[in-house]
Amino acid sequence: MKKLFTLFALFGILTFGASKLVVAQEGEAAPATSEQTVEGTTDTTAVAEATEQKAEAPAQEEKAVKETPGFHQQLKQKFIEGGPTFMSFVLIALILGLAIAIERIIYLNLSSTNTTKLLDKVENALNNGGIDAAKEVCRNTRGPVASIFYQGLERYRPGQEESIENVEKSIVAYGGVQMGRLEKGLSWLGLFIALAPMLGFMGTVIGMIEAFDAIEIAGDISPTLVAGGIKVALITTVSGLVVAMILQVFYNYIVAKIDGIVNDMEDASISFVDLISKFKA
């Protein structure tokens, strides 16, 4: 009986110890699981925040690109900041100067002639059809060189001793007329080149006067008061100089084009007089 009681007591002790050990293990596992759950939640939150930041980055870049003003907007803004009064005059000078320059360029390009081919055609016409055929060739050819040849042929009289001299005089006289037509409008273009920076400098002076007036009224020298007038002054000056530089480039191109045409006219006129002298003989 004592042995049976001892066995029951031993079994109870082992059972109680085993249950206590299981409860302790479960207690330890529960905090570990809680910690893992918290860590998993933290990781998920971090991943979500990183994803949101990546999604917001392109949107911010697009917003920055949209907020950056374009060239036309910046130009418009500077035009307004420079003052509509003087900036308008500078803009008018640019528009009128460009109009004259473009018209002159088109006219000069149409006035250009291949003088070598023209001389060959005139020589063939003189040999085959005489003066009237040569006049027809010159009449149907575009450019000042052909017009000069036509005037020379008009004053040529076969058999007269002073005929060649009259042809030379007519070529010289009508050549001056053609040069005047080629240089038409250049004086106005030069005027706008000189006028644009003057208008800019006038805006500069007026901007400085406004700045000093603001200082006088405020009774204090503040960078904010002075900055506005100086800004207007600098913008008008830069605008006038830019307009003058643009028109100056066109002016030099036109002058070079005219010089080339005049040189061709002179060379062709000499060859034409020689051609007429041979035809007389």
Could you write out the DSSP letters of every residue in 139-194? HTS-SHHHHHHHHHHHT--TT-TTHHHHHHHHHHHHHHHHHHHHTTTHHHHHHHHH
Q: What integer pLDDT is reported at residue 248 of this predicted model?
A: 95
Give percent of the chain with pLDDT exceeding 70.
66
Does residue 121 or residue 10 have the better pLDDT?
121
Across 28-37, 49-58, 220-229, the highest mean pLDDT is recorded for 220-229
What pLDDT is attached to residue 273?
Answer: 86
- pLDDT, tens digit (0-9, with 9 covering 90-100), for 125-161: 888 888 888 888 888 888 899 999 888 888 887 766 6
Please state the domain count of the chain.
Answer: 2
Q: Are 146 and 117 in contact (CB under 8 A)?
A: no
Q: Kindly state whether residues 238 and 112 are assigned to the same domain.
A: yes
Which of 16, 37, 68 is the endpoint of a domain? Answer: 68
Q: Which domain holds residue 22?
A: 1-68
Is 64 found in the same domain as 81? no
The yes-or-no verdict on residue 205 having pLDDT over 70 is: yes
Percent of the chain topping pLDDT 90 = 19
Q: Are residues 110 and 222 in the same domain?
A: yes
Averaged pLDDT of the chain: 75
User: Token match 């060189």: residue?
Assistant: 145
Looking at the fold, whether 98 and 59 belong to one and the same domain comes out as no
pLDDT of residue 90: 87
What's the whole-number mean pLDDT along residues 78-105?
Answer: 84
Give 257's pLDDT tier (boundaries 50, 70, 90): very high
